[in-house]
Amino acid sequence: MSMDHNIPAPSHPEHLRHLLDSTPARLGVWRAGSRPLTATWLKFRQDHAQARDAVHSELTQDFLDNFAAKRSLPIVQSTAINRRDFVLNPPKGKQVSAADLEELKENCPSGCDVQIVISDGLSAQAVESNIADLLPMLEHGFALEGITYGRPIITRFGRVAVADQIGFALSAKLAINLIGERPGLSSAQALSAYLTFNPGPQTISSDRTVVSNIHSGGTPAAEAGAYIVQLSKRILETGVSGVRLQQLG
């Protein structure tokens, strides 16, 4: 690979293009001496800024009005008082208040196979970009498989473990938290699904099975929904999730 006045000149540009098309990783970015090229540095700063914006993003009123309200989805908030409190104090995002929990128990069906929780997590943008396509696929798939599910619940300032508390309160066999991932430099709108069998106070991280990288540039929401349905079916049949599910092969 030769360089002429810092102008990239790969010996096989078609191979490089194929490689770049297959991954969002930063490959073939080149350098000018010991420094990145200006375009490379500016793209890095742009992606970093988008990741920071995603971490501080909140569910918009438009989403709450036009998606949540139209579907009559309950909306609760974790014990974090605002986005800053949520970011600086992670444990506060793992629980909702006792009053909110009682209200959910009064207004939501209990004893279902699956309880879906939708949490903004570390990217509310990920929720708004993917949930409208993902949630109907899950509901349709569960109905086809004869898997019962309760009313999906939206949690503002929620972290992964908040679904354990909600699922336990509603006596669900399986809790699924659809949550915004921590943004990276390749995507700020990726969603994850955490599946936990028998959720409750005893749940630890190794009890969870995760499906990650759900977004248009990774696993499309519709495809991820079909996979999550089949994964949920297997978890319900085997009675385990997380590491113990992996050990079954």
DSSP output for 202-241: T--GGGEEEEEEESTTSB-HHHHHHHHHHHHHHHHHHT--
Domain assignment present for residue 102? The answer is: yes
Q: According to the model, what pLDDT value does residue 139 have?
A: 97
Q: Is residue 140 part of a domain?
A: yes
Is 3 within the bounds of a domain?
Answer: no
Report whether 67 contacts 133 (CB < 8 A).
Answer: no
Counting the structural domains of the chain, the total is: 1
Q: What is the rounded CA–CA span in Å between residue 114 and residue 174? A: 5
pLDDT value, residue 3? 45
Phi/psi zone of residue 115: left (φ > 0), alpha (ψ -120 to 50 degrees), beta? Answer: beta
Q: Does residue 120 belong to any structural domain of this protein? A: yes
Res 40: pLDDT: 84
Identify the CATH number of the domain in which residue 112 sits: 3.40.50.11240
Averaged pLDDT, groups of 10, the chain, 249 residues long? 54 83 79 83 85 86 92 96 95 96 96 98 94 97 98 97 98 98 80 97 97 93 97 98 94
- Is 164 domain-assigned? yes
In a domain, 128, yes or no: yes
Global confidence as pTM: 0.86
What residue has token string 């293009």?
17
| Strand-pair category, 191-197 with 7-9 | unpaired
Q: Indicate whether 218 belongs to any domain.
A: yes
Query: So what's the pLDDT on residue 176?
Result: 98
Answer whether residue 175 is part of any domain. Answer: yes
Domain with 203, as residue range(s), is 61-247
